């Protein structure tokens, strides 16, 4: 198989087939017209577009998330079920006095409760503020103090080891929801399962101006103190469009973004973007394990895989050919983000996986993909990033 036809072997026509034509005819109003908007012209809400729009339509019984626990057990949740659970969580927040604009932080691993909470927070029009669970106490404090956290969702272990000693230093923090506790505590500590069981599964999203603050992400802080980046509900247009053109999502795709929601990729493209397109998103609780990853790609028929160059390089070091041990025939599109994709990785993808790895670039401040590689040159060393319409409007 030659380099020229590696990507042509897949039967599905790419969404961005003619870049120049797409660029010439691109119009943000056309993208907006593909989304529903809140009923009665009440604005634009990310969670409504990601969940309710599908739950109230033909996709209601389609799997939204397939959650894999550390033991590899799978649990599916449909769009209709996701609407019910996120409605419950929005009602929990309302019962606790959380209002529009309040900052709600999360500190967990890739657990179902995190994904349900994120969307419930957006429904409540509060601000979703995700934290990476591997952070130590001081990075957690810096972000929660700067973000004026009012409520935190976390696990028993993470609370005891990383948050408990910070309470006196966080005057805005009133409430802690523990996702794996079955009894309420004192000092504003609640067992989330009990609150969810008592909450109504019907919630009406309030009017949401497109410029309403939706997500507060913090930069990694590599050049100083972490800085907060505000993303508004209108960013849903950017997520929707880039998932179509930069990640080539189609309606029947099985999508796997390996990023943690504690970082912007894991939120924009691990939670929001795949749901906007009504596809099934894989979420793996476990940390990197090469054979586990290949098994997931095979067992669940992943068609679009979004990962990081570091992970790709770790896979490259293995002393076996994955295509001889695993069936990766369903894998149609691979994309990478987070750091430069070195030429050796590009060559490895083509020679071993028989797929082009499409690099893209963006950052916390942009909230979504700004440039993506749409055509790698034959010599990997000549590879460059070409920007889609999102970078030229």
Tens-digit pLDDT profile for residues 76-90: 999 999 999 999 999
Averaged pLDDT in 10-residue chunks for the chain of 393 residues: 46 88 95 98 99 98 99 98 99 99 98 99 99 97 98 99 97 98 97 99 99 96 87 98 97 98 97 99 98 98 98 95 96 95 95 95 93 57 38 28
Give the Cα separation of 344 and 122 in Å (integer): 41
Judged by DSSP in three states, 78 sits in strand
Nearest to 393 by CA among 1, 115, 132, 32: 32
Q: What is the DSSP letter of 204?
A: P
Give the Cα separation of 28 and 238 in Å (integer): 9
Half-sphere exposure of 225 (CA within 13 A, CB side): 10
| In the block, residue with structure tokens 């069981």 | 197
CATH of the domain at 91: 3.40.50.12780
pTM: 0.93
> Which residue range forms the structural domain that includes residue 180?
3-391
In the sheet that 175-178 helps form, which strands lie side by side, from edge to edge?
A: 189-191, 175-178, 151-154, 103-107, 127-130, 213-218, 228-232
In the sheet that 304-307 helps form, which strands lie side by side, from edge to edge?
A: 74-78, 63-68, 280-284, 254-257, 304-307, 333-336, 357-361, 371-372
Cβ–Cβ < 8 Å for 268, 280: no
Distances (CA, A) of 41 to 45, 127, 135, 384: 11, 22, 41, 42
Q: Given this model, what pLDDT does residue 12 score?
A: 85
Q: Given this model, what pLDDT does residue 375 score?
A: 60
Say how many domains are in the chain.
1
Q: Given this model, what pLDDT does residue 385 score?
A: 39
Chain mean position to CA 277: 13
Instruction: Please give the structure tokens belonging to residue 134.
Output: 């591997």
Cβ–Cβ < 8 Å for 167, 154: no
């Amino acid at each position: 198989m030659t380099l020229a036809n590696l990507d042509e072997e897949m039967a599905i026509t790419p969404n961005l087939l003619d870049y120049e034509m797409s660029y010439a005819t691109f119009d943000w109003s056309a993208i907006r017209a593909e989304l529903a908007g809140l009923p009665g012209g009440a604005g634009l809400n990310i969670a409504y577009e990601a969940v309710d729009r599908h739950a109230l339509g033909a996709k209601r019984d389609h799997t939204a998330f397939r959650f894999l626990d550390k033991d590899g057990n799978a649990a599916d949740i449909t769009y209709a079920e996701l609407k019910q659970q996120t409605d419950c969580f929005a009602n929990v927040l309302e019962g606790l006095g959380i209002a529009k604009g309040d900052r709600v932080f999360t500190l967990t691993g890739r657990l179902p409760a995190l994904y349900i909470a994120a969307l419930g927070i957006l429904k409540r029009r509060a601000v979703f503020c995700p934290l990476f669970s591997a952070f130590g106490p001081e990075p957690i404090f810096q972000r929660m103090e700067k973000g004026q956290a009012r409520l935190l969702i976390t696990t028993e272990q993470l609370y005891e080891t990383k948050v408990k000693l910070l309470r006196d230093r966080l005057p805005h923090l009133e409430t802690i929801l523990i996702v794996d506790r079955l009894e309420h505590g004192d000092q504003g500590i609640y067992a989330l399962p009990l609150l969810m069981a008592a909450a109504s599964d019907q919630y009406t999203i309030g009017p949401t101006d497109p410029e309403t603050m939706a997500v507060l992400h913090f930069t990694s802080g590599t050049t100083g103190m972490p800085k907060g980046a505000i993303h508004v509900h209108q960013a849903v247009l950017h997520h929707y469009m880039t998932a179509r053109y930069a990640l080539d999502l189609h309606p029947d795709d099985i999508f796997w973004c390996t990023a943690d929601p504690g970082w912007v990729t894991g939120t924009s493209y691990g939670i929001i973007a795949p749901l906007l397109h009504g596809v099934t998103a894989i979420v793996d609780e476990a940390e990197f394990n090469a054979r586990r990853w290949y098994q997931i790609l095979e067992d669940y028929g992943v068609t679009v895989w979004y990962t990081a160059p570091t992970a790709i390089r770790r896979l490259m070091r293995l002393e076996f050919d994955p295509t001889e041990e695993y069936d990766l025939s369903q894998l149609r599109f691979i994309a990478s983000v987070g750091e430069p994709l070195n030429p050796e990785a590009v060559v490895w993808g083509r020679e071993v996986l028989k797929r082009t790895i499409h690099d893209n670039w963006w950052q916390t401040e942009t909230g979504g993909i700004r440039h993506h590689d749409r055509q790698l040159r034959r010599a990997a060393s000549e590879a460059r990033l070409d920007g889609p319409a999102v970078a030229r409007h």
